[in-house]
Amino acid sequence: MTKCDIWYRSDTRRLWLTRRDFSVAATAGLGSFCAGCAVNPATGDQQVMLMSADDERRIGAVEHPKILKEFGGAYEDPKLSGYIAAIGGRLAAASELPDTRFTFTVLNSPIVNAMALPGGYVYVTRGLLALAQNEAEAAGVIGHEIGHVVARHTAARISRAQVTQFGLIGLAVLGSATGLPAGTGRLANTLASLHLQGFSREQEFEADTLGIRYMSRAGYDPEAMATFLSQLRAHSGLRAKIAGHPADSVDQFDIMATHPRTIERIQRAAEAAGPKPPHARNLYRKAYQSAIDGMVFGDDPDVGVIRGREFSHRALRFRFSVPEGFRLINRPTSVIAQNERLRSSIVFDMDTRRSGGSLSGYITRDWAKRRLNDVEGFTVNSLPAVTGWFVMDTKKGRMVVRLIAIRAKRSQIFRFLFISAPNVTERLSRPFRQTTYSFRRLTSREAEMITPLRLRVQKYGRRSRKDLLRRMQVESHAEGWFELLNGYIADKRRSAGETVRLVV
């Protein structure tokens, strides 16, 4: 990722479009039908908006299911989601749009991230909530996302993207929108990539400033925004250590990739918010600890669990393992295992759309859509299977691709793609075969036994640190996780009456 240490200039009153963009837009006759060139109530900015508040709500509603799909759906825990919605409600009431209807969702994902969509949709993952040490830190994140909504950052970016990319036709479609605009599909694609790309640095700084403003007004200690940022950095460091990567590397789906921020910027935003009012010193740690007690930690068995080199899926009832040196990653529609050193990977997924026909017909016509070498049938733990291979030129050079299709039911085909650089294909042939034969269905009893890990909050009591560490069920780096989840970075001392989080 690119490190972000560029200071944002002090002038926060600015146009969303640069003067040049604006004159282009004006020449195009835009000024006459743009949905509004309004002054934003939160930022005082004059915004050239091609999208009305109604358009924003519609786009939010279209995008909402996509976010749910990408991040494991909503986390079903009425107590926790009610608690988060209450925090969000207090912050929103303190914003410049107290009457806007916001929708707050806890996403069932171990990834650490938060995001917002136009129209008042705000999301935090349970992975992020596990890191926050108190309610004020969670409020900082939620306030930041509300800030993006209030400042209409997504709409501003889309408007700009429309001006530069789609030209007048796209604009006309948007400008005349009364129902769902005809260009929504294209627009939605833009949006989907925008929310993962993140906002501009200026927008991030602005969202921090607004988040801190709302936190302060709602009675939270605004410094929690900065302490939470330290937590995020510590988390990135631990993740990198676990993956054996340099400490400053960040997953592309992680909040540090979409929200690159520095402590200095947060502090600057806090200063901009003015002196802390005497009542605004609340962290609400106790309430927060009890709200997240019992929350699922790490993978959810119903979307698949990774334990070392083994992948198990409770709902679809199967399991397989990958060769040594391959790192498993669970994505919404596939499971990927990579070995960067050998430039090789495994992609596993399921096809339920096509049924019937022979498996060899399926593998060539429906899947590979090309001639394959050495197509042959075999069985994997008594399930019919077929395999074949071909050579393909990719961005990473020439690759040997082996396909395996395993039919579990008439309309359920499990698939492995084994992709290897030609110089290691021979060497990986046996490990790849072992992976193929490791695939098996689970009995319902075996499937039930795959249970998620959970956060448990308990009194520190008289237990020694060693005792507590022994109870941590994480796969590795128990001490690192223990310190991270308990915010030990900032505070090494704990009293017997203080609560502590464990993963059990």
Residues of this chain that interact with Zn ion (CB under 5 A) are 204, 207, 259
Separation of alpha carbons 22 and 48, rounded Å: 9
Q: What are phi and psi of 22, to 5 degrees?
A: -65, -40
Residues sharing a CB contact under 8 Å with residue 286, sequence separation 6 or more, in sequence order: 499
State in angstroms the smallest separation of the CB of 136 from Zn ion. Answer: 18
Residue nearer to Zn ion on the CB measure, 87 or 207? 207
State in angstroms the smallest separation of the CB of 95 from Zn ion. Answer: 15
Residue nearer to Zn ion on the CB measure, 199 or 432? 199
Residue nearer to Zn ion on the CB measure, 34 or 87? 87
Residue nearer to Zn ion on the CB measure, 252 or 476? 252
Q: Using alpha carbons, select from 198, 224, 229, 210 the residue that is nearest to residue 135.
A: 224
Residue with tokens 């709409």: 155
For 166, half-sphere exposure in the C-beta direction (CA atoms, 13 angstrom radius) is 20
Q: Using alpha carbons, select from 287, 382, 345 the residue that is nearest to residue 79.
A: 287
Question: What are the residue ranges of helices labelled H in 293-420?
Answer: 359-361
Separation of alpha carbons 223 and 301, rounded Å: 36
Give me 26's structure tokens. 């004006």
Q: Using alpha carbons, select from 498, 494, 504, 502 the residue that is nearest to residue 286.
A: 498
Residue nearer to Zn ion on the CB measure, 197 or 412? 197
State in angstroms the smallest separation of the CB of 454 from Zn ion. Answer: 29
State in angstroms the smallest separation of the CB of 115 from Zn ion. Answer: 8
State in angstroms the smallest separation of the CB of 373 from Zn ion. Answer: 49
State in angstroms the smallest separation of the CB of 148 from Zn ion. Answer: 6
Separation of alpha carbons 31 and 35, rounded Å: 9
Separation of alpha carbons 105 and 74, rounded Å: 6
Residue nearer to Zn ion on the CB measure, 233 or 259? 259
Give the sheet arrangement for strand 453-459, strand by strand.
296-297, 453-459, 499-503
Residue nearer to Zn ion on the CB measure, 63 or 204? 204
* SS3 (DSSP) at 228: helix
State in angstroms the smallest separation of the CB of 141 from Zn ion. Answer: 9
Separation of alpha carbons 155 and 157, rounded Å: 5
Residue nearer to Zn ion on the CB measure, 45 or 204? 204
Bridge pairing between strands 121-125 and 103-107: parallel
Q: Per-residue b/e over 276-299, b at no fewer than 16 CB within 10 Å?
A: eeeebebbbbeebbebbbebbbbb
State in angstroms the smallest separation of the CB of 337 from Zn ion. Answer: 32
Q: Is 274 left (phi over 0), alpha (psi -120 to 50) or beta?
A: left
Residues sharing a CB contact under 8 Å with residue 84, sequence separation 6 or more, in sequence order: 104, 106, 124, 129, 138, 142
Residue nearer to Zn ion on the CB measure, 84 or 256? 256
CB 160 within 8 A of CB 16: yes
Residue nearer to Zn ion on the CB measure, 47 or 154? 154
State in angstroms the smallest separation of the CB of 473 from Zn ion. Answer: 33
Residue nearer to Zn ion on the CB measure, 77 or 137? 137
State in angstroms the smallest separation of the CB of 146 from Zn ion. Answer: 11
Q: Using alpha carbons, select from 451, 351, 332 the residue that is nearest to residue 68.
A: 332
State in angstroms the smallest separation of the CB of 255 from Zn ion. Answer: 8
Give me 49's structure tokens. 């908006």
Residue nearer to Zn ion on the CB measure, 123 or 367? 123
State in angstroms the smallest separation of the CB of 435 from Zn ion. Answer: 39
CB 250 within 8 A of CB 257: yes
Q: Using alpha carbons, select from 89, 91, 68, 62 the residue that is nearest to residue 158.
A: 62
